[in-house]
Amino acid sequence: MQTEKFQYDNRIVRNFAIATMVFGIVGMLVGLLVAIQLYEPAANLGNQYTSFGRIRPLHTNAIIFAFVGNAIFMGVYYSLQRLCKARMFSDLLSNIHFWGWQLIIVAAAITLPLGITTSKEYAELEWPIDIAITLIWVVFGWNMFGTIIKRRERHMYVAIWFYIATFVTVAVLHIVNSFELPISLFKSYSFYAGVQDALVQWWYGHNAVAFFLTTPFLGMMYYYLPKAVDRPVYSYKLSILHFWTLIFLYIWAGPHHLLYTSLPDWAQSLGVAFSIMLIAPSWGGMINGLLTLRGAWDKVRDEPVLKFFAVGITAYGMATFEGPMLSLKNVNAIAHFTDWIVAHVHVGALGWNGFMTFGILYWLIPRIYQTKLHSTKLANFHFWIGTLGILFYAVPMYWSGFTQGLMWKEFTEAGQLKYEFIDTTKQVLSLHVFRSIGGTLYLAGTLVMVYNIVKTMTAGKLVANEAAEAPALESNYAPTGHASYWHKALERKPMMFMVLSIIVILIGGAVEMLPTFLIKSNIQTISSVKPYTPLELHGRDLYIREGCVGCHSQMIRPFRSETERYGEYSKAGEYVYDHPFLWGSKRTGPDLMREGGKYSNSWHYNHMIDPRTMTPGSIMPAYDWLAEQTMDVSNIKDKINAMRTLGVPYEKGYEERALQDLELQAKGISENLALEKIKISSDKELISLIAYLQRLGTDIKLSNTTSNK
Amino acid sequence: MFRNLLHEISGIDMYKIFSLVVFTAFFLLITIWLFSAKKEYIDEMSKKPLE
């Protein structure tokens, strides 16, 4: 058989490695800043571009798509070439992928602080960037499949299956969740409303965790762990079972993010059942990883790479056990909206994604630079300070989460709520200080790693094109005997494999979402629920711009502790005009579902100028610039038209009168404020935000729930 | 009220049963294949990263 000579592309691997380190540091620094803002409001730095609501999404996006994203591409580009015994399909596509992805990250870093956001978690970027993400993702897939097709290896190793599943599922998730109607270059409205929007968003959100933060790293685990420990994976059969059951089950579990909300009961139950079943494949993967180290634990003592892998895989196991537990309704009742969830995701992000990335960097960089790691001692130091950082982060957050969940629900013997919301805020402040110390330790470790890696890079020389050789595949391969078995045939046909993966993930998505979509989006289930006035709509867009949804939910669950505190529980029919939905996922501040009419306009004015004058001890940033900035009402016509296109019943020709209505309502609020000796002209942004807040939840409050059924 | 709307979709109950049946069938198929897979093939595949 003829042997072919070719070269592996290490330069692209190196580029992604540098990007993951740079954006890792940036993402963690922003994370540290938002963590400090949660106990020291002055850390908002007194301007809108660095206020919590705007830069919290910057932190999450930087970590998920910049730090972890670049780490995925680094890991995939190195291992895919070796597993296929082929250079990447096209150097041009590799470079377009690299630079395109970095440009998207830069675009995110500019637009998010400017308040350009869709407000949907982990999908905040506006529509032009969404399109760019789609194009670059296609380039990645094209390059990957091109490489797989020209491979010199008959069968695809299990790691490649995980990469394929990652590619197809992220593509489906991103496209379905990004359906939005643009009204300008930087503003769009979600195609879906209320309950539907929530269901699509959390189907996306949950599976972004599954297929961006989990499956690519499992694929990398199955490649780099055997490499580092120099023995095959514990059970290849288990890895196959792990793969198919994991991708099949994950996609169904999204509704567990919406327990006790207005989502139909059956969808919630489906989400819970599949979440519990998910323990099996997740732990199958963890056990497979840890057992690969059996008989080699002595190596773990000496090799920092293996230490990072061992803790990373353990963190994966803990997070994937905790996830199903959190999806039990009784646990969720306490945990949801609290810091418990923050602890949960950070065990995954810091432990699993972070430590796996660090392990791969320490293993890979010396190899492509043909040298030894600069300092094993520093790498060990990184391991210990990183592990301490995770503990200092997670333990206070768990404590804080339990405290919040229990205090919110506690009644006095007389049957009244025992604590004001602000009491719970003050109670957990010190825990938030500890959390930021944990984050600082973790960041310090990462900085030490970057130093160590840079030293390693300068000591060695990049082998940009690594020579390799392998026999070419016979083109007229005829499988015989056992080799003709169907799954093996599948492993020879990457395109068939991709199609089957898509079918597997679509089954769950379709079953989950179709029933909700068969109901027409504009069915008016509660007759008193009316569309927002133009001023309220404008205020709502400011609520989105400032990222209020990051700290305030708009979803009162049907518990006595919530209806006593916030008012009548939320009904699905109340959200039919909400493009996008703003239920939120965290209560750093109180729920705002029934905020309308609770306080006077002047209370809101003073509260927004300086929250601590109205609520001593509040950690909310001041929004004084809203009283200075003038409303931009130039596109109110487009907004009304867009909303009508999406099914909101504004009467014909209303867009012509919208501006007039807006000014009239604004004048009313400004005059009302004048009565309380507050001077503010009616064209300021704060006026529209007050109008929106005063509207919240009042449709039902005013009319005592009349259903038209 | 939302539940009532859902009842109007014919066969909504089938969804729960359908999901269970589909998953069980899928799981069994993979398991049967795994048990029938030859050892040499599994060994060969598991050594791929080390080549």
- The number of angstroms, rounded, from the C-alpha of A161 to the middle of its chain's C-alpha atoms is 23
Average pLDDT over residues A659-688: 96
Residue A57 has pLDDT above 50, yes or no: yes
Name the phi and psi angles at A33, rounded to 5.
Answer: -65, -45
Q: Answer yes or no: do B1 and A241 touch at CB < 8 A.
A: no
Contacts of A245 in chain B (CB under 8 A): 27, 30
Q: Which pLDDT band, with edges at 50, 70 and 90, does A707 fall under?
A: very low
Pick the more confident residue, B8 or A42.
A42
pLDDT in tens, A341-356: 999 999 999 999 999 9
**Range from A104-118, A195-209, A300-314, A659-673 carrying the lowest mean pLDDT:** A195-209
Pick the more confident residue, A273 or A23.
A23
Instruction: Note whether A487 contacts B: Cβ–Cβ < 8 A.
Output: yes
Instruction: Note whether A223 contacts B: Cβ–Cβ < 8 A.
Output: yes
Q: Answer yes or no: do A523 and B5 touch at CB < 8 A.
A: yes
Average pLDDT, chain A: 92
Tell which residue, A498, A377, A281, A237, has the closest CA to residue B39. Answer: A237
Residue A709 has pLDDT above 60, yes or no: no
Q: Encoding tokens for residue A583?
A: 């239920």
pLDDT in tens, A219-252: 999 999 999 999 999 999 999 999 999 988 888 8
Average pLDDT over residues A509-514: 74
pLDDT in tens, A155-214: 899 999 999 999 999 999 999 999 999 999 999 999 998 888 998 999 999 999 999 999
Average pLDDT over residues A281-288: 94
Quick one: pLDDT at residue A524? 46
Quick one: pLDDT at residue A706? 38
Contacts of A518 in chain B (CB under 8 A): 9
Q: Which pLDDT band, with edges at 50, 70 and 90, does A519 fall under?
A: low
Residue A704 has pLDDT above 90, yes or no: no
Average pLDDT over residues A353-382: 97
pLDDT in tens, A12-51: 999 999 999 999 999 999 999 999 999 999 999 989 999 9
Q: Which of A195, A483, A511 lies closest to B18 in CB terms?
A: A511
Show me where the domains of chain A are located: 8-154, 534-703
Pick the more confident residue, A249 or A680.
A680
Whole-number Å distance between alpha carbons of A317 and A327: 16
Average pLDDT over residues B5-15: 57
- The answer to whether A532 and A538 are in contact (CB under 8 A) is no
What CATH number does domain A534-703 carry, 1.10.3720.10, 1.10.760.10, 3.90.230.10, 3.40.50.300? Answer: 1.10.760.10
Quick one: pLDDT at residue A322? 95
- In this prediction the pTM is 0.93
CATH level 3 topology of A8-154: Four Helix Bundle (Hemerythrin (Met), subunit A) (1.20.120)
The DSSP code sequence of A620-645 is: PPP-GGGGTSBP--TTHHHHHHHHHH
- Give the helix ranges, DSSP H, for A209-294: 215-229, 236-250, 265-277, 279-292
Q: Which of A487, A524, A576 to mutate to test the interface with B (most CBs of B within 10 A)?
A: A487
Residue A609 has pLDDT above 90, yes or no: yes
Contacts of B4 in chain A (CB under 8 A): 709
Contacts of B15 in chain A (CB under 8 A): 266, 270, 511, 515
Q: Which of B1, B16, B47 lies closest to A270 in CB terms?
A: B16
Quick one: pLDDT at residue A193? 87
Q: Which of A240, A247, A249, A262 to mutate to test the interface with B (most CBs of B within 10 A)?
A: A240
Strand pairing category for A187-190 and A180-184: antiparallel
Quick one: pLDDT at residue A479? 64
- The answer to whether A139 and A100 are in contact (CB under 8 A) is yes
pLDDT in tens, A383-438: 999 999 999 999 999 999 999 999 999 999 999 999 999 999 999 999 999 999 99
Q: Helices A11-37 and A91-111, interaxial angle, to 10°?
A: 10
Q: Which pLDDT band, with edges at 50, 70 and 90, does A269 fall under?
A: confident
Instruction: Note whether A520 contacts B: Cβ–Cβ < 8 A.
Output: no
Quick one: pLDDT at residue B3? 42
Q: Tell me the count of A-B CB pairs closer than 8 A.
A: 100
Average pLDDT over residues A487-504: 79
Listed in sequence order, the residues at least 6 apart from A146 whose beta carbon sits closer than 8 Å to its beta carbon are A88, A89, A90, A93
- The answer to whether A249 and A278 are in contact (CB under 8 A) is yes
- Give the helix ranges, DSSP H, for A112-153: 127-149
pLDDT in tens, A566-599: 999 998 889 989 999 999 999 999 999 999 999 9
Binning chain A into helix, strand and coil, the percentages to the nearest 5 are 70, 5, 30
Percent of chain A with pLDDT over 90: 81
Q: Answer yes or no: do A241 and B42 touch at CB < 8 A.
A: no
SS3 assignment, position A231: coil
Listed in sequence order, the residues at least 6 apart from A388 whose beta carbon sits closer than 8 Å to its beta carbon are A438, A441
Pick the more confident residue, B11 or A625.
A625
Show me where the domains of chain B are located: 2-50
Average pLDDT over residues A530-534: 94
Pick the more confident residue, A630 or A705.
A630
